[in-house]
Structures are given as structure tokens and as C-alpha cells.
Amino acid sequence: MRRRIVIAPDSFKGTISATDAALALARGWQSERPHDEVLLVPQADGGEGTLDAIAQASPGAQWRSVRVAGPTGEPHDARWLLLPGTHAVVELAECCGITLLPRSHAGELALAPLAASSRGVGEAIAAALDAGARHVTLALGGSASTDGGLGALSALGLRVLDGSGAPLPDGGGALSRAGTLDAAALRAAPAGGMTLLTDTTAVLTGPSGAALMFGPQKGATADEVATLDAALARAAAIAGGDEHLLPGAGAAGGTAWGFARYWGARIQSGADTIAVLTGLDSALEGADLVITGEGRFDATSRAGKVVGGVLERASVAGVAVAVVAGQADPTAARDAEAHGLGRVLTLSELAGSPAAAVSEPDRWLHAAAAAIARDQNEQYSWGAWTRTKNN
């Protein structure tokens, strides 16, 4: 029986793009079931790969490039998009994302949770404004920093000063000494406003805030997480307003908060926005299965990220789901499967180790989709997916 299969993964951060992941998954499926209809709808949520997804869905998009500071200051060229109608799209991960940190001789990222800055994305936004952009969409995700976006705003004219009026260095750790946030020289927001695409519903501070939820992923110890959380709270108190309470304000180390507070930017779900642009709902109509995926499946996957958005849309459409992840938190995977949200496969298990999976992502994505296709021929496996689909 010919089936309709939708392939809708996110990028596997720092390893393979969403487009290439979708192609590898499709080849794996078709190696077992060559006559099925396979639709490729790669996704993004504001993190790495968002520019590519928007460019594919936007006729007339023009690629631009600008020299910016990486997360710890190293200059590099970052891409951004100019869309028809003087609309610029900038991706934080492209400018100062965690994958741009320097690496050790062993290839490991030199994480800098207290010192990493969002300055580079502010430099890219300045370039877009200089090029005539009247509306800016900023894709937030994959950050290395927890600085409330004040590094980015500093590149646009904000002055972050200590109690004696001296400028503070970049990085979230320095904000614990903040005394004044001087916006007198801050560039005006673009005339058409700013939209923030976020991959989380986290607020700025507290148990559901940027530091506690994402600081450990950026290398922060327990003490450093506490330092960063207190520093963000101090910055919010100095800045005033209640934007720190907005869902999504904690995106990209609080960068969403900074632009919401100082430029009146509007926060919206990156996953939902890209799903609409790419026509994901239309693709799901009449589908038998959707395969989605990301680099790591954990408790945050269902809180604003691509996989969570695909799960929700598939549930509404009555479509069964399989999740392919580079790695997975065992508890999150068991919970997803127990609640009928879809089967979870990891490339690390297929390859034998995380290192092997990262070294050949195409091979193991192909293998994962082939395994899912083989399993669908077994009554138990397909029956389990079918029961999920019909719930």
C-alpha cells in the first residue's frame, strides 16, 4: 500500500542542516519503500537554519553578508537576508551562536557562559538598518550567551555602565555589576518594527528563566547559573518595565527581553512562523506519518521548538509521528512514547556512540529512516503508530 510520508526535521545543531537532514531521511525511507509519496518540509524555530528555511519559502530573497564579532569576539562573516519590501531577517546563531565558539585541539567548544556576548547580532542588525531595512525579523536560538541581549543593543548604541559610570565588558557575568543602562544614544527601532522568532517560552529570570533553563547547556556551573540569573534580574530591575515576564523573553539568553524592552519588539513562536511559511499543515493533510527530528530530544523539545510544534500539528491532523534525534534524554523519550506522542530513535544508539553519529550524520539519518520504514511493515509497530494517529 502506497503511503504519504512527510519529512519535517529541524537542523541537528552544528552537525547537519534541516534540508540535508530531510534529504538523508527521505533517502533512507525510499531505500525500503521506494513507491511511497515522500514530502520534504524542513523546519526551523528561530535557531540554526532559520535563514535557510525562510529563504527557501521567500521568492526574491537576497543574501547579504557582514563582518561581525563571534560570541567571544572573534570576527567572522555572517549572512542575513533582505526580503522584498525592505524586510531584513537576521539569525543570532549565524552571528554569535554557540557553534561559533573557538574549539580546542580536540575539537571541543570552548564554552564561555559568563563572557560570551550577543554583540555580533547587533552588528548585523546595524548593517541591515544601514542597508535600508524598515522591518527586522530576528531569529533567536542556539546562543552561547546569557547577557539579556545587552551586547547586541550595545552594538546599536546602548551603554552598559557600572555604578561609577564606567563601561562594563561584554558578557552576562559582568551584568552583576551593572549600575546604569544608558539608552540616550541607542539607535531607533526600525520604522516597521521588529519581530522576534523564539524557540522557547522561557521568561527572563527564575526557575523558568534563561539562566536556569539553558545556562548548563552553555557550560555554566551551578554557581555560574546563579550568578547569571541574578545578573539578569539586576539588569531588568534597572531597565524597568515588565517585559521580563513575557513568555519567550528568555530566548537566546534573554536577547528577546532586551529587544522587547528597548525596541518594543514583538515575540512570536519561531516554529509556528516557519511552519506557516513552509506549508507544513497542508503537507500533513492526508499523510500517514511525519518524521521529525533534532540534535537532542529532551524536556525543552516540547516548549517552543520544532519537534514540539510538529507533534502538536500532527496531533491535530491525526498523523502518526516518529522522532529521530542525535541524542535523547531517556526520561523525555519514554514520556513521549508512553503518551502516544511518537516513537523516538537516536542516531547515537544506531551508530554506537555520539561521536560516531556526529561524524557521519547522513549515514545514520539514512539508517534511522530505513529502520522506521522496515518497522512499519510489522503489524505491531505500524499498529502502535496508527493508534497514536487515531487518538
For residue 131, the Cα-to-chain-centroid distance in whole angstroms is 26
Where do the domains of the chain lie, and which CATH numbers do they carry?
Answer: 4-41+279-390 (3.40.50.10350), 50-271 (3.90.1510.10)
Q: What is the pLDDT of residues 149-178, one digit of tens each?
A: 999 999 999 999 999 999 999 999 999 999
Cα-based distances in Å from 293 to 37, 43, 208, 277: 19, 10, 24, 19
pLDDT, residue 314, reads 94
Q: Strand ranges (DSSP E) for the chain?
A: 4-7, 37-40, 62-69, 75-83, 87-91, 135-139, 159-162, 178-182, 194-198, 266-269, 289-297, 320-328, 343-346
In angstroms, the CA 319 to CA 297 distance is 20
- Kindly tell me the number of DSSP H helices and DSSP E strands found in the chain: 16, 13
Give the pairing type, strands 4-7 and 37-40. parallel
Average pLDDT of the segment spanning 286-315? 90
Q: Which tens digits make up the pLDDT trace of 227-236?
A: 999 999 999 9
Give the C-alpha separation, 163 to 132, whole Å.
37
Cβ neighbours of 352 (radius 10 Å)? 10
Half-sphere CA count of 261, side-chain side, radius 13 A: 27
Q: Model confidence over 95-130: pLDDT tens digits?
A: 999 999 999 888 889 999 999 999 999 999 999 999
Query: Any idea how long the chain is?
Result: 391
Residue with cell 519537534: 307
User: Helices 251-263 and 222-239: crossing angle, nearest 10°?
Assistant: 10
**pLDDT tens per residue across span 202-237:** 999 999 999 999 999 999 999 999 999 999 999 999
